[in-house]
A and B are shown apart, each in its own frame.
Chain A
Amino acid sequence: MQGTVRLMQGNQACAHAAIAAGCTFFAGYPITPSSEIAEELARLLPRMGGKFIQMEDEIAAMAACIGASIGGHKVLTATSGPGFSLKQENLGFAVYTEIPCVVVNVMRGGPSTGLPTSPAQGDVMQARWGTHGDHPMVVLAPASVREIYDLTIQAFNLSELCRTPVILLYDEVIGHMREKTEVPDPSQFKIIDRKQSTSSPDAYLPYKSDEDDVPAFVRFGEGYRYHITGLAHDERGFPTQNPRVVEAKQRRLHRKVEQRREEIVAHEAFLLDDAEIAIFAYGVTARSARAAIRTARKEGIRVGLFRPISLWPFPDLELEKLAGQVKAIVVAEMNLGQLIYEVDRVVHGQTRIVAYQKASGEPVHPEEILTAVREHR
């Protein structure tokens, strides 16, 4: 089946894709520039028999999502910088208790209230490390309206597959931009649901995993009476301070994401085959990079784009290969240095790294990237 072509806004695409992915619950709190996701789902979810609730604050919205996911729903919340900060504690609860949920953070200028209606890419490290304690995190970064659609579905799938929160991270421009978008037909994508327990209630151990490192789920109220706690817990879900049990759980949490690296890690390579300079960029910055590359190519500069689609886990292996091939990597970000440190770690001196950083609340212009490329050819 063919998809349908529509003029869509990024945030709107996120809402529609959530429904397509099987989302039946949204809890949120108004915040620019993400509110369109809540507004759209307030309208769409009841039609599908789903539930929408505007909570009293960002913390409660995250909490309500986790509660509903424990009740068996696929859940979404959407926010921006200040709200994302507030959600962090409960986000960690979802990681530790292994409750699937998808969180959208439409990045605006910060810190603090910052620039509510302007784009930024300053939450990359917060998305990875915002909640306290040691934990894995899956973060996906779309760069177009269509990609928001696809990665929203992917975010739900990965969250269900790994039983861990997945963050969809994009900037204000991507969220508010309208593009001609081919909305795929449901036959064009797969839907993953969390693994259900096949054991009897008596034998059920809520945190015992199989070889795939993911425990089987049973929603509350099905006769499998069990305990969920944010305290360190054993396979029964009961609190423990046993060092062996605590460490085993910690390692499994990381392993369940690491062992699915091939399913999670994604990047786009654009004109990299013969490139002597690579631009590393994501989100709206990658779109400017693409424009810069087209102009540079006309000038005879062999330049291409490496665009990480999964920011976390980071596409280490893929970028490392590139490092041996180009004489410079221009890292363009709308912050004063975040993912560049990850690039630096992977490149490990194999090639020159050039920073193009902007934190004015304006997107990076193609001309600016072009200038950086010309200087380092």
Chain B
Amino acid sequence: MFDYEQYFRREMMPHIWCKGCGNGVILKALLRAIHRLDLSKDQIAMVSGIGCSSRLTGYVDCNTLHTTHGRALAFATGLKLARPEVTVIVITGDGDGLAIGGNHLIHAARRNIDLTCLLFNNQIYGMTGGQVSPTTPEELFSTTSPYGNIEAHFDPCRLVEGAGGTFVARGTAFRTIPLEKLIAEGIQHKGFSFIEILSTCPEIHGRRNKLGTPAEMLQALAKTTLPTGVLRKTSAPEYTEVCEGIIARAQGRG
């Protein structure tokens, strides 16, 4: 039995997530990935934005930074550039990372800075009570799409690929062992790693759209028609290393 407690801040429990939420499953996969890589808690920084998934940083016993809405990648870029030796993991959601923070996502990918970005995609703004998000499927209901969503949703993995991301993967909150491996591989990858994790929001999104029980919603993830696993893996110069090269050149060493 894996000892999750060694990574938790007990004083922060109980967590705020609803019963049946996919976030806990993903958190556990993340902790196992960290354990698998034998990373010290001291050398990990987790940076998040605003939303249900972004509350994750409060629960993990490492260097944690819970920032403003959409800006986790921008804070993380500064932190990583300041301390390249720290392993920086960014936690974001579909609203946080694709709507208000979409600009930072494409530019972090373009720079190929060594951050691992986990995007929890539950297709809804959960914390604010269930508003439509950029990944809410067409025609589904939310508090701000009471007649059904009229906007097209987009594919974040293809977005990041288009922006030059060197590691792009998709996992689900249902297949947790493959997810754990994907996260570990993403952390190990030198450069910007993006992992979209299909998750569920049974309490707010599921109930309104009659998507079934929490278990049924998780099982539905397994039937996704989207490709899963590592979708793109390539290598390119990593941003903080390139910066060190610039410093060497400016100092007449390079």
Binding site for B on A (CB under 8 A): 25, 27, 46-47, 49-51, 53, 55-57, 59-61, 63-73, 75, 89-90, 93, 219-223, 225-231, 236, 238-239
Q: Mark each residue of chain B from 148 to 185: 1 if its CB lies under 8 Å from any CB of chain A, else 0.
A: 00000000000000000000000000000000000000
Residues in B whose Cβ lies below 8 Å from that of A46: 246-247, 249-251
Residue contact B81 to A68, C-beta cutoff 8 Å: yes
Of A64, A73, A221, the contact of B63 (CB 8 Å cutoff): A221
Residue contact A225 to B83, C-beta cutoff 8 Å: no
Assess A25 versus B251: contact at CB under 8 Å? Given A90-B71, A227-B58, A231-B66: no
Give A68 to B83 CA distance when docked, in angstroms: 8
Give A66's nearest chain B residue, CB to CB. Answer: B75
Residues in A whose Cβ lies below 8 Å from that of B45: 220-221
Main secondary structure of the interface of A (DSSP, over half): mixed
**What are 28 pairs between A and B in contact, CB < 8 Å?**
A25-B78, A46-B250, A50-B247, A55-B107, A56-B107, A57-B103, A59-B71, A60-B103, A60-B107, A63-B74, A64-B74, A67-B76, A67-B80, A68-B79, A68-B82, A71-B86, A73-B82, A89-B68, A220-B65, A220-B79, A221-B43, A221-B63, A221-B86, A222-B42, A225-B42, A227-B58, A228-B65, A229-B66
With both chains docked as a complex, state the minimum distance between the C-beta of B81 and any C-beta of chain A, in angstroms. Answer: 5
Give A207 to B42 CA distance when docked, in angstroms: 19
Give A222's nearest chain B residue, CB to CB. Answer: B42
Assess A71 versus B83: contact at CB under 8 Å? Given A229-B58, A236-B11: yes
Residue contact B67 to A55, C-beta cutoff 8 Å: no
Give A67 to B83 CA distance when docked, in angstroms: 10
Binding site for A on B (CB under 8 A): 9, 11-12, 41-43, 45, 47, 57-58, 61-68, 71, 74-83, 85-86, 103-104, 106-107, 243, 246-247, 249-251
With both chains docked as a complex, state the minimum distance between the C-beta of A283 and any C-beta of chain B, in angstroms. Answer: 30
With both chains docked as a complex, state the minimum distance between the C-beta of A161 and any C-beta of chain B, in angstroms. Answer: 21
Residue contact B107 to A25, C-beta cutoff 8 Å: no
With both chains docked as a complex, state the minimum distance between the C-beta of B86 and any C-beta of chain A, in angstroms. Answer: 4
Residue contact B68 to A90, C-beta cutoff 8 Å: yes
Q: What's the count of A-B pairs with C-beta under 8 Å?
A: 140
Residue contact A230 to B78, C-beta cutoff 8 Å: no
Give A75 to B75 CA distance when docked, in angstroms: 13
Residue contact A228 to B64, C-beta cutoff 8 Å: yes
Assess A64 versus B78: contact at CB under 8 Å? Given A56-B103, A236-B11: yes
Give A92's nearest chain B residue, CB to CB. Answer: B68
Give B83's nearest chain A residue, CB to CB. Answer: A71
Give A3 to B251 CA distance when docked, in angstroms: 24
Assess A51 versus B75: contact at CB under 8 Å? Given A220-B45, A231-B66: no
Residue contact A67 to B47, C-beta cutoff 8 Å: yes
Give A25 to B84 CA distance when docked, in angstroms: 13
Residue contact B71 to A60, C-beta cutoff 8 Å: yes
Give A109 to B79 CA distance when docked, in angstroms: 34
Give A227 to B56 CA distance when docked, in angstroms: 11
Extra 4 A-B pairs, beta carbons < 8 Å, given A220-B65, A222-B42: A46-B250, A59-B74, A67-B77, A90-B68
